[in-house]
């Protein structure tokens, strides 16, 4: 018959480490929610940044851009707003949780273990929401950077290589070309000149 014997007794350091782990498990949900509350406060700053960009770089700042650049700025700002809203919802949910009504206590036997398991489940869910908020905040910042960069550096409308010009050829063979753009302007051509509209 084989005897069963216990292992070596835990040291005082092992007992202290076990107590520390127990305390960390008990406060895990609280610590995750504190971090989520800080992310929520950071999102307030991101939202203020979006508002500032929309006010300072308003519609007139993109009105002179090429069509593709205007659309790109608009899409980037919509992505930034949507990502900021989604990040805010995730951060608030992580910080405060979703209301789910009163929790059934059940029998007192094993109550501590059940409560600890529920806290850890909520902490894991809050941590997932916090990670989603962090990723969405990064997407918000990148979308704002793209929108601002395009509004500063994208080509102006009609600033590409193609455009419309009026070419005048006089009887003597002199060619005069005038590029048409949004600024308008006038040019003098000889009465006998032949006018052609050409690409330039």
| Rounded CA separation 119/114 (Å) | 9
User: Do residue 133 and residue 88 come from a single domain?
Assistant: yes
Whether 179 maps to a domain, the answer reads yes
Calculate the average pLDDT of the chain. 75
138 domain residue, yes or no? yes
**29 in Cβ contact with 130 (< 8 Å):** no
For residue 3, being part of any structural domain is answered with no
Q: Do residues 122 and 147 share a domain? A: yes
Residues β-bridged to residue 165: 179, 198
> What is the band of 105 on the pLDDT scale with cuts at 50, 70, 90?
low
Say what the pLDDT of residue 163 is: 58
At 21, is the pLDDT very low, low, confident or very high (cuts 50, 70, 90)?
A: confident
Check whether residue 32 and residue 51 sit in a common domain.
yes
Give the per-residue pLDDT at 161: 46
Residues 96 and 181 in one domain: no
Condensed to tens digits (0 to 9), the pLDDT of residues 56-87 reads: 666 666 777 788 888 998 899 899 889 988 98
The verdict on 79 and 140 lying in the same domain is yes
Residues 187 and 122 in one domain: no
Q: Is residue 1 part of a domain?
A: no
Domain count, the chain: 2
Q: Are residues 147 and 64 located together in one domain of the fold?
A: yes
Please indicate, yes or no, whether residues 76 and 173 belong to a single structural domain of this protein: no
H helices of the chain, in order, are 12-26, 28-56, 67-96, 111-153
Do 51 and 73 share a domain, yes or no?
yes
The whole model's pTM is what? Answer: 0.60
For residue 194, being part of any structural domain is answered with yes
Report if residue 98 sits inside a domain.
yes
In a domain, 158, yes or no: no
Long-range contacts of 38-45 (CB under 8 A, 24+ apart): 39/91, 39/94, 39/95, 39/130, 39/133, 39/134, 39/137, 40/88, 40/91, 40/92, 40/95, 40/133, 42/137, 43/84, 43/87, 43/88, 43/91, 43/133, 43/137
- 108 and 71 within one domain: yes
In a shared domain, residues 116 and 176: no
Q: Are residues 145 and 170 in the same domain?
A: no
Asked if residue 2 belongs to a domain, the reply is no
Q: Residue 150, Cα to own-chain centre: how many angstroms?
A: 16
**Structure tokens, 194:** 């032949």
Domain containing residue 49:
12-153
């Amino acid at each position: 018959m084989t005897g069963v014997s216990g292992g070596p007794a835990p040291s005082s350091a092992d007992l202290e480490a076990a107590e520390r782990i127990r305390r960390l498990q008990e406060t895990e949900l609280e610590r995750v929610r504190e971090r989520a509350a800080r992310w929520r406060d950071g999102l307030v700053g991101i939202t203020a940044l979006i508002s500032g960009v929309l006010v300072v770089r308003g519609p007139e700042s993109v009105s002179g851009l090429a069509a593709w650049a205007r659309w790109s700025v608009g899409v980037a700002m919509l992505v930034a707003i949507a990502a900021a809203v989604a990040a805010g919802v995730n951060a608030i949910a992580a910080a405060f949780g979703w209301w789910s009504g009163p929790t059934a206590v059940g029998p007192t036997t094993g109550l501590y273990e059940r409560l600890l398991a529920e806290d850890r489940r909520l902490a894991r869910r809050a941590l997932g929401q916090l990670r989603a908020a962090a990723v969405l905040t990064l997407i918000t910042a990148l979308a704002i950077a793209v929108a601002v960069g395009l509004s500063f550096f994208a080509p102006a409308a009609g600033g590409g290589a193609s455009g419309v010009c009026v070419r005048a050829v006089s009887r003597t063979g002199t060619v005069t070309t005038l590029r048409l753009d949004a600024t308008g302007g006038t040019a003098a051509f000889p009465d006998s000149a032949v006018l052609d509209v050409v690409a330039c």
